[in-house]
Structure 1
C-alpha cells in the first residue's frame, strides 16, 4: 500500500516545508490541470514515467513548456537512440503506486519506487514555485525547488537537475554520455501478470506541448498529444485486469475489417484467371500475411495511445471550478 496524499502532506509538515495544496476536479493531463491552477503562476510540471530495455525506470519531470525528445535523452543516458519508451499503466500502479495521470516526483516516497531514477528540469530553479500532483490527480501542490530538494534529500535522494533542451548531444569514445550517472543501478521486476503489458515495444516519440489542434492518423502518433476516440475513465473507476485482452480485441476488430476490404480487392486486382490458377485460398493467404505484419504495429500503437493519456493525452474539457485549498 503506497502513501496517501494526507500522509505525504503530513511528511512535508514534519520537514517544515512551506507548501500550498489545492483540491480540484480530476485532471489527467497538464493541460487539464492548468484550467484549475494555471492562474496561480509558478511552473506547472509535466511528468513522464519511462523505462529502458533493461527494466530500469525513470521519472522525467519538466516545465509544461519544455520539449522532451526521447531519442536525445536516451543517447545522453547512454542507452542508444531507442533505449527509452513509455512505461505501462500496470508498471505505474505497481511501482509508483499512483492513479493514472498522477505521475509526480513525490511518488518516490514509496518504497516500491526506490530504484526509479528522477531527472528534473533545471528550469524549475528559475520559478517562484513549482506545481505537482501530490500522489493524486484531484489536487495540486505548490513548492519551491529548494523545498522539493529538501523533500528528496529526506527520502535519501540526491536531486538531479538537467538541461533538457540539448538537441544534439556529443557522445563518443572521448565524450561519454553526460547523464550516464543517473541511470538506475538496480532493475525492477514486475509480477508475471504485468510482464506482457510492460514488454510492448513503443515507437519512439518526441513529446511536445499540446497545441490543441485535432490530430489524426500518423500525425497523432508523431505528436503523441491527442488520441482521438480514446475514452478516459474517471479516477475511482476500477482498473480492468483484462486491459491487454481489450487491446487485442480492438486490434482484431481492425484486422477483421481490413480483411473484408482486402479479399475483394485481391480478387478484383489479380482477376478470375489467376484465382483459378492458384486456387480460391490465394486471397485469404495474402490477407493472413498482412494481418501478421500489421498486428504487432497496431498493438504497439494502441497501447501507446492508452498510456500517453496520463502524460500527453487528451481530456474532455469541463468548466473550471473555484480552487479550494486542501484541508
Structure 2
C-alpha cells in the first residue's frame, strides 16, 4: 500500500521543505484545478504517465502551457516514433499507487515506482513556485523547484530538467539527447487472472484459429467487410488487453493532438464537448471495425474449440 496524502505532507515537514496546501474538490484536469489555485500566481503542472514498448515507465511533468509532442519525445529518448504511449490504468494503481488525476513527481515516493523515469520541464525554474497534487487530487500544494529537488534527492532521485519543446535532430552523428533518461529496467506487473475460456484453449490453438478466422467465418455465415480483413490482423486479436491498449492508444493520440492552446482559446469551457464530437466522428469507423474483427475472431475460435472437443460417435 502506498503512502497517504497525510504521510507525504508529514515527510515534507520532516525534510523542512516549505509548502502551502490548498484543499479543493476532486479535480481531473489542469483547467479544473485552475479554478481553485490558478489565481495564486504559481505555475500549474500537467503530468503524463507513459510507457514504452518494453514496459518501461515515465512521468513527464510540465507547465500547463508547455507543448509536449510524444513522437518527438520518443525519438529524443531513442525509442523511435510511437515509442511512448499513455500507461494503462492498472499500472497507475500498481506502480504509482495513486488514483487517476493524481500523477505528479511526488508519486515517486512509493518504492513500487523506483524504476519510473522522471522528466521535468526546465520552465519550472522560471516560476516562483508550482502546484502539484500530493498523491490525491483533492488538494494542491505549492513547491519551489528547490523544495521539489530536495524532496527528490531525499528519495535518491537526481532531478532532470529538460526542454520538452525542443526538437533536436537525431541521426548517426547525433545520438538521442535524452537516451540517458530511459529506465535501465522494466517494471513487471502481476499477470491478469486467467479466464476459463483461455485456460481451455492452448496458445498454439489460438494462433491457428486466428489464422483460419476468415475461412471458418465464411463456412458458417457471410462475414462483414471488416471480418474478411481479419487475416491481416495479428494473431493476438482475441487478446482483450491488447485490444483495449490499441483502442486507448488511438483515443489518447487523437486527444493529445487536439489539446492545443489554439483550441483552448477557441472553445474555452466547451472544449470537452468539442473533443468528444471529434473523437466520436474520427474514431467511430475504426473502433467499429476493430470490435467486429474481435467479435468474429472470438466466434471462430469458439467454433474450432467446440469441434475439437466434440465427442466421437459410437457405432
Q: 1:138 corresponds to which residue?
A: 138
Q: Distance in 2 between matches of 1:66 and 1:290?
A: 35
Distance 1:58 1:95 in 2: 11
Report how far residue 25 of structure 1 moved: 0.3
Please report how far the alpha carbon of residue 22 of structure 1 lies from its aligned counterpart in structure 2 after TM superposition. 0.8
**Aligned counterpart in structure 1 of residue 245 of structure 2, from 180, 184, 200:** 200
Matches within 5 A, 1:142-153: 142-153=142-153
Greater helix fraction, Structure 1 or Structure 2: 2
RMSD (CA atoms): 3.0
Q: Secondary structure at the match of 2:115?
A: coil
Deviation at 1:208, TM superposition (A): 3.6
Q: Which residue of 2 aligns with 1:182?
A: 181
The alignment partner of 1:68 has SS state of: coil
Consecutive aligned runs of 4 or more in structure 1 exceeding 2 Å deviation: 194-199, 203-210, 212-223, 288-291, 293-296
**1:172, distance to aligned residue in structure 2 (A):** 0.6
CA distance in 2, matches of 1:180, 1:188: 18
Offset of 1:18 from its aligned partner? 0.5
Report the CA distance between 1:221 and its aligned residue: 8.0
Report the Cα distance in structure 2 between the residues aligned to 1:180 and 1:294, rounded to whole angstroms: 40
1:42 aligned onto 2:42: yes
Q: Deviations over 1:239-288 (max 9, x none)?
A: xxxxxxxxxxx99xx85xxxxxxxxxxxxxxxxxxxxxxxxxxxxxxxx9
8 Å contact kept, 1:68–1:208: no
Identify which range, 116-125 or 212-221, moves more after superposition: 212-221
- Aligned counterpart, 1:19: 19
How far apart, in 2, do the equivalents of 1:290 and 1:135 lie?
Answer: 36
Q: Distance in 2 between matches of 1:295 and 1:141?
A: 50
Q: Is the Cα contact below 8 Å between 1:27 and 1:33 reproduced in 2? A: yes
| 1:50 alignment partner, SS class | strand
Contact 1:75 1:169 survives alignment (8 Å): no
Counterparts of 2:61 and 2:129 in 1: how far apart (Å)? 14
CA distance in 1, matches of 2:180, 2:21: 33
SS at match of 1:61: strand
Distance in 2 separating the partners of 1:10 and 1:142? 15
The reply on whether 1:292 has 2:282 as its aligned counterpart is no
Q: Which stretches in structure 2 are left out of the alignment for 5+ residues?
A: 194-238, 298-315
Matching residue of 1:97? 97
> How does the TM-score come out when normalised to structure 1?
0.66
Shift of 1:220: 3.7
Give yes or no for contact 1:68–1:164 (8 Å, CA) kept in 2: yes
Mapped partners of 1:112, 1:35: distance in 2: 32
Pick which of 214-223 and 16-25 moved more: 214-223
Matched, 1:215 2:216: no
What's the CA shift for 1:215? 2.2
Superposition TM-score, scaled by structure 2 size:
0.68
The CA distance in 2 between the partners of 1:126 and 1:51, in whole Å, is: 28
Q: Which runs of 5+ in 1 are unaligned?
A: 228-249, 256-287, 297-327
- Measured at CA, do residues 21 and 175 of structure 1 come closer, stay the same or move farther in structure 2, by a change above 3 Å? same
- Give 3-state SS (helix, strand or coil) of 1:141's partner: strand
Which secondary structure does the structure 2 equivalent of 1:142 belong to? Answer: strand
Q: Distance in 1 between matches of 2:40 and 2:296?
A: 46
Give the count of matched residue pairs.
Answer: 236
Deviates more, 1:188-197 or 1:169-178: 188-197
Structure (1 or 2) with the larger CA radius of gyration: 2
Give the Cα–Cα distance (whole angstroms) in 2 for the partners of residues 289 and 155 of structure 1. Answer: 43
